[in-house]
């Protein structure tokens, strides 16, 4: 049974529950002396107390997002629940980190304002809470930033400055621009204050569900899943934490293989908010010791998952948020059969143009959209008879292209391509 909020029947929500004393991963640290601790444990800078303090700061300004049971995903395989971070004010879990980072600024820093750079979800969250907290905000984005995104930043009264051809150019320019106008620079990469905010998802989950066997979380640079590990495994060490990473940008997989963050080539992906070329060091120091497993999912699997969530679960999600579901649908986690599994639905910020392309890709991946070519005699009625044959199968024709000029067979035939 899913508990929709802190006051739901059967919920374990209690203010004292979130203030358990102890450092991160107490069950592990209690088994060893300080001088015997593994090197990676001493490098973990994010603590359970940081996440608890972040929750105290932001709980009035964020949405306690619901946990709902899946209607179709995982049916006959495992019991799946969704933690719906796409319902945050800015459409993604980034709202938690941005809220904590801005709430932690001093009065002097707030009055001077901040200059920000980073991904779309981070910028949306920062501009929203910047306006909410009356903090002047300047945004530096590349010149190819979509008009719709720039409009949303300006809706939050942010100053938008365009510079460079990509995100790296914009981020580098933001450093000099903030010095020029006298504001604080705030980036969205591997920051402890952001991670502490993200970790509040884990605290909520433990209050919303009485039993959780495993959590599957999208993985980009690693901030979200690292914070979940600290929050959940500190309080419930036996809960499995899995990462789902897009195969186009497997930064954390490579980092774990090389035992350190390494640069990887950025490739276009539907899960664009996971497209980072290197894992965060703070995140990696948590993940390398306590992540139970990481799997990769390809573009077809992600598209199929987005279609499933849209049609069957009635959820509009972005590509990154669909990665945990893609791992389930793609059979990447067979050991979770019969378990209670929570998928972190990290965000829903996908524009209509991209969603249209995703729908087509997902239908093709699911075998519901088929392209074929047939050669028929170039005589009256031949194409009509072919269409009748297609219609008899129960299929519909979306488009048809007859080709005469480039036929190599003979001049009395026509090639017909259909979708």
Rounded to the nearest integer, the mean pLDDT of the chain is 86
Q: Per the domain annotation, does 161 fall within a domain?
A: yes
- My answer on whether 247 and 339 are in the same domain is yes
Average pLDDT over residues 273-296: 94
- Measure the CA angle with vertex 163, ends 132 and 86; round to 5°: 40
Q: Per the domain annotation, does 377 fall within a domain?
A: yes
- My answer on whether 351 and 251 are in the same domain is yes
- My answer on whether 175 and 67 are in the same domain is no
Q: Per the domain annotation, does 202 fall within a domain?
A: no
- My answer on whether 408 and 266 are in the same domain is no
pLDDT digits 0-9 by tens, 97-106: 999 999 999 9
Helix, strand, or coil here: 160? strand
pLDDT digits 0-9 by tens, 12-43: 344 333 443 334 444 434 333 444 455 666 68
* pLDDT exceeds cutoff 70 at 2: no
- My answer on whether 249 and 350 are in the same domain is yes
DSSP string, 198-259: HTHHHHHHHHH-S--SEEEEE-SSSHHHHHHHHHHHHH-TTSEEEEEEETTS-HHHHHHHHT
Q: Per the domain annotation, does 266 fall within a domain?
A: yes
Q: Per the domain annotation, does 317 fall within a domain?
A: yes
Count of Cβ atoms closer than 10 Å to residue 79 Cβ: 16
With beta carbons less than 8 A apart as the criterion, state whether 121 and 276 touch: no
Residue that is written with structure tokens 């365009």 in the block: 162
Q: pLDDT-based confidence at 410, cuts 50/70/90? A: low
| pLDDT score recorded for residue 38 | 57
- My answer on whether 358 and 280 are in the same domain is yes
Q: Which residues pair with 187 in a beta bridge?
A: 117
Helix, strand, or coil here: 180? helix
pLDDT digits 0-9 by tens, 225-269: 999 999 999 999 999 999 999 999 999 999 999 999 999 988 888
Least confident of 126-135, 181-190, 346-355, 361-370: 361-370
Q: Residue 40 belongs to a domain with what CATH number?
A: 3.40.50.1100
| pLDDT score recorded for residue 152 | 94
Average pLDDT over residues 161-180: 89
| pLDDT score recorded for residue 23 | 43
Average pLDDT over residues 209-216: 96
Between 51 and 304, where is the model more confident?
A: 51
Torsions phi, psi for 260 (to 5 deg):
-170, 155
Q: Per the domain annotation, does 7 fall within a domain?
A: no
Enter the tokens of residue 251: 């930064």
| pLDDT score recorded for residue 226 | 97
- My answer on whether 224 and 357 are in the same domain is yes
- My answer on whether 269 and 401 are in the same domain is no
Q: Per the domain annotation, does 67 fall within a domain?
A: yes
Q: pLDDT-based confidence at 412, cuts 50/70/90? A: low
- Measure the CA angle with vertex 88, ends 319 and 296; round to 5°: 25
With beta carbons less than 8 A apart as the criterion, state whether 373 and 416 touch: yes
Q: Per the domain annotation, does 203 fall within a domain?
A: no
Domain that holds residue 57: 15-91+208-364
Helix, strand, or coil here: 116? strand
| pLDDT score recorded for residue 319 | 93
CA–CA dist 83, 340 (Å, integer)? 13
Average pLDDT over residues 128-139: 96
Q: For the chain, what is the domain count? A: 3
């Amino acid at each position: 049974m899913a508990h929709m909020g802190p006051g739901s029947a059967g919920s374990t929500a209690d203010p004292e529950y979130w203030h358990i004393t102890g450092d991160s991963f107490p069950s592990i640290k209690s088994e060893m002396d300080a001088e015997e601790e593994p090197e990676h444990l001493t490098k973990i800078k994010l603590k359970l107390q940081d996440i608890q303090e972040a929750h105290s700061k932001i709980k009035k300004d964020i949405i306690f997002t619901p946990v709902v049971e899946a209607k179709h995903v995982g049916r006959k395989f495992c019991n799946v629940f969704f933690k719906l971070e796409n319902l945050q004010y800015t459409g993604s879990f980034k709202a938690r980190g941005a809220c904590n980072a801005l709430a932690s600024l001093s009065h002097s820093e707030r009055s001077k304002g901040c200059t920000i750079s980073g991904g779309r979800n981070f910028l949306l969250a920062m501009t929203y809470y910047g306006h909410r907290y009356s903090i002047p905000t300047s945004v530096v984005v590349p010149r190819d930033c979509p008009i719709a995104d720039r409009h949303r930043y300006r809706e939050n009264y942010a100053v938008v400055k365009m510079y460079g051809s990509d995100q790296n150019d914009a981020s580098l320019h933001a450093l000099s621009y903030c010095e020029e106008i006298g504001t604080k620079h705030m980036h969205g990469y591997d920051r402890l204050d952001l991670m502490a905010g993200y970790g509040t998802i884990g605290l909520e989950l433990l209050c919303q569900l009485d039993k959780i066997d495993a959590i599957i979380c999208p993985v980009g640079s690693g901030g979200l899943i690292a914070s979940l590990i600290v929050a959940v495994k500190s309080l419930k060490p036996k809960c499995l934490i899995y990462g789902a990473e897009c195969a186009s940008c497997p930064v954390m997989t490579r980092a774990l293989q090389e035992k350190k963050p390494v640069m990887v080539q950025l490739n276009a992906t539907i899960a664009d908010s996971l497209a980072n070329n290197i894992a965060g060091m703070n995140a990696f120091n948590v993940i390398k010791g306590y992540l139970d497993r990481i799997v990769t999912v390809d573009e077809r699997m992600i598209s199929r998952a987005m279609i499933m969530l849209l049609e069957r679960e009635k959820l509009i999600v972005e590509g990154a948020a669909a990665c945990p579901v893609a791992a389930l649908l793609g059979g990447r986690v067979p050991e979770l059969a019969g378990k209670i599994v929570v998928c972190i639905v990290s965000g829903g910020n996908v524009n209509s143009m991209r969603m249209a392309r995703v729908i087509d890709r997902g239908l093709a991946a699911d075998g519901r959209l088929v392209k074929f070519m047939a050669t028929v005699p170039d005589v009256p009625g031949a194409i009509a008879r072919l269409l009748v044959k297609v219609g008899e199968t129960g299929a519909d024709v979306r488009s048809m292209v007859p080709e005469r000029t480039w036929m190599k067979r003979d001049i009395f035939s026509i090639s017909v391509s259909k979708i």
